[in-house]
Amino acid sequence: MSRDTEPASSAPVSTAISAIAHPIVTVPLGLFLLGLEAAGPRWGLISLAGGALPPVIIVLILRLIGVFGSIRIPSLTQRFRLLAATTIIEASAAGAYAILGAPQSLVIAQLAGTLSIVALAAVTAATRISLHVATLTTLLPCLVYVGGPIWVLGAITIPAVAVARVKCHAHTAHQVILATFIPPAITVTAILLFRVIAE
C-alpha cells in the first residue's frame, strides 16, 4: 500500500482522528494556547501569528502550487527542508518574543520547542517520524510548563493519535514510538536547561 494516501474507507475513525490532529490544526491551536497560558490573549495572538501561521502558510502554499504532492509531505527530503525552515522561523520568533518583552516562560517554551524541531529534523533524515504525534508531544510539555499540571491530561490524546496513524497506514509503529518519546525528552530537558541558564 502506498504511503502517499490514507485509506479513509478502511479506517474512518482513525482517518478522522488524523485529520483533527494534523499539525496544520494542532500547531496554531497549541501555540495560541501557549501564549494565552503564559500571558493572556495578547500573547496568545502574538504566538499564533509569529510561531504558528508562517510554517502553516508555507505548507499550504507549497501544496497549492504543487511542490508538495500531498499535505502529508511523504518525501523525506521535503520534510527535512520544511523542518529546517520551521526551525529558523521558531528560533526567530523566540528572539522576537524576548525583544518584545514576553514572559520568560514563553520564551523558554518557544526555545525548547525549537530544539525539539531540530531533533525531529535529524530523525527525519533516517525515517518518516510521525509529525502528528511529535507535534503533540512537543507542545504538551511546553503547556505544562507555562500553564500547570492540568495540561498533563492532554497526554490522553497521544495514544489515540499514535494508534490512528498506524491504522491509517500512514506510519509504522516504530515511527510513532519515536515521535512519542524523542520530542518530550528533548523539550523537557531544554526547558530545565534554559530555566537554569535564566536564573
The whole-number pLDDT of residue 191 equals 97
The C-alpha cell at 145 is 510548563
Residue 129, classified by CB atoms within 10 Å of its CB into exposed (0-12), middle (13-18) or buried (19+), is buried
Q: Which residues contact 136 (CB under 8 A, 6 or more apart)?
A: 21, 26, 30, 154, 157, 158, 161
According to the model, what pLDDT value does residue 7 have? 45
DSSP state of 172: -
pTM for this entry: 0.90
- What pLDDT score does 10 carry? 58
For helices 157-167 and 173-198, the axis angle rounded to 10 degrees is 150
pLDDT at 114 (0 to 100): 97
Cell of 193: 536547561
Question: DSSP letters along 26-56, please?
Answer: HHHHHHHHHHHHHH-HHHHHHHIIIIIHHHH
For each of the chain's 199 residues, which pLDDT tens digit applies? 434 444 444 578 999 999 999 999 999 999 999 999 999 999 999 999 999 999 999 999 999 998 888 778 878 899 999 999 999 999 999 999 999 999 999 999 999 999 999 999 999 988 999 999 999 999 999 999 999 999 999 999 999 999 999 999 899 999 999 999 999 999 999 999 999 998 8
